[in-house]
Amino acid sequence: MNRFATTVLLAASLTPFTASAQQDLEANALQKLMLFRSFVQDDPSCALSVVEGRPLFSGATAANAPGACPDAFAWAQMAEAVSQGFWNWGIDQTVWPAMPLPLCSSEVRTGCCDPDAPIDPTAAPPAGCPVNRADYARPSPLPARPNGSPASGVINHGGLEFADRIDPGRLLRDLELELVFRNKTMIDYIYRQDLYSKEGLGARNRAQNAALANGDLGRAQALTVRFPADAVMVKADFLHQQIMLDQGLIQRTDAAGAALNPPNDPNFPYLTVWIEGDGSEGSVPGLYYLVAMTNASKALPIWHWYAIEHVSNRGRCDYIGCNDSFGYSVNGRTQAGADFGAHFIPPMIELNDDKIDQNDPLFVAGEVYDPAVTGETITPELAALLRGMGVGTAATDPDPTAISADDPAWMNYRLKGTQTTFTTAAGVPTGMGATVTEGGFVNSASCTTCHSQASVDLNGAAGVQGVGATWRPNLLGYQQVAMGAPEFAWFYRPGGPSIAATQIDFVWGIFNAHCQKSAENGSACASYPDEPTVVPAR
């Protein structure tokens, strides 16, 4: 029996702590602080159905589903992305080519990228130009370059055992393969707005400042980057089979001793895919397992964000809990003394037990939040949505080496939570982070705040340094990140005023941008146009 199951069974008998039984019946301070993590997201009137293979909201909230029904909207967005085969969308490596060509214009007609050029699905994608992989009969291979390779300490189970026990997601984050997929709408905007090279990005900042200096405020505003409302990005985190086996996340046999081919979690299988890679340095081909996703759509001005985790991820609900008011109902009384409602799984806690009485409640980290204990049960609404979208409907995985919409493993993923604002109406900074994706700083992670910093300076380089990082280390020494509303000083110099950092509408993929022609010192591009080239959509 794992530690969590033991803790909950003790809680059921009202004696999980050394304090008096009466004290056990009272909510403690740490449980009460979960008030700020457990806000109910969806309006009670949210109504979602599937019509002709598409999710459809109806009723009073239909016109503002992303804001009024963020949890239901998250599940609808995930189901739609899966049904559309997001794994064939463009990835950062194809959206921001390593050797970009300039955007075609009236001045540049050859050796350039033309977003209106006809696409031959049977041909090879054009080099140097943004590409949506789904436009081609044989999409380019997914890269297989994880963040790092395991050191001997990991393989021999002798690494940072203390740190990995407190925050197991951090180790996995350091070893994950992270792929960011972007839909055709998003790619087309990046392409036509000349945001796929450093020259185009730098020109945007230079042109804004030139317009501002000349008093043409309308022009400066017109150069603001605003993605279309149907732009979608899916950030998927995979782990190599070697890591999964080493960390005990999957097994070679089931409980009866029957071989699992390929190895997997016998109770809650992970989605698997063979990633061959492109043969580049650092490529690690093999079978990979999907552990988490952090996705977003431009349905709201600051995007609609949500995190998805595999149900067996260690520490899945640690520190901030798991909040889902649409997809799964849970037992709100798994901890003695408090009732968290049917939408929220609280982080595991225990009393530190170093005093005779009045012991402080502390987090218990790194355990599995077993559905048998949390009481997670799929709602009829989510079951109907997934069934209607053809997600997870097969009896068995059709092909463990490929991702498919009907793979039943999709049923083993859970919504961690959604984020649609910087702060609540009462001023509480909102946050969201997946155990692996934000390993080491999940307790302070904020998708909206971090991505608001995605910006460029006059050279097309990052306008705000640190990707959301602050000066604050946590107790383990990992750097914490910013939460709450963005800061004026990140983007503007008030004296002129001038724009120090031009926001690229919450898209950190700009880190992948390269120069069309680098300067000799390599620190910037050889030259920048005064104005970005823009090709209007047809």
DSSP secondary structure string for all residues of 354-388: -SSS-PPEEE--S----HHHH--EE-HHHHHHHHH
Query: What is the pLDDT at residue 154?
Result: 57
CA dihedral (348, 147, 247, 372) in degrees, to 10, reads 40
Query: What is the pLDDT at residue 23?
Result: 44
Query: What is the pLDDT at residue 21?
Result: 38
Query: What is the pLDDT at residue 298?
Result: 98
Per-residue burial over 418-451, b if 16 or more Cβ lie within 10 Å, else e, is bbbebeeeeeebbbbbbbbbbbbbbbbbbbbbbb
Q: Is 248 left (phi over 0), alpha (psi -120 to 50) or beta?
A: left
Helix (H, G, I), strand (E, B) or coil at 519: coil
* pLDDT tens, position by position, 137-159: 999 999 999 987 766 655 555 55
Phi then psi dihedrals of residue 292, to 5 deg: -165, 160
Query: What is the pLDDT at residue 10?
Result: 32
Query: What is the pLDDT at residue 69?
Result: 98
CA dihedral (92, 95, 97, 98) in degrees, to 10, reads -20
Query: What is the pLDDT at residue 22?
Result: 36
* pLDDT tens, position by position, 53-67: 999 999 999 999 999
Query: What is the pLDDT at residue 478?
Result: 85
Q: 505: which 2 tokens? A: 């509408």
Residue with tokens 């030139």: 210
Query: What is the pLDDT at residue 15?
Result: 29
* pLDDT tens, position by position, 79-117: 999 999 999 999 999 999 999 999 999 899 999 999 999
Spans of the chain, pLDDT less than 50:
1-23
pTM of the model: 0.93
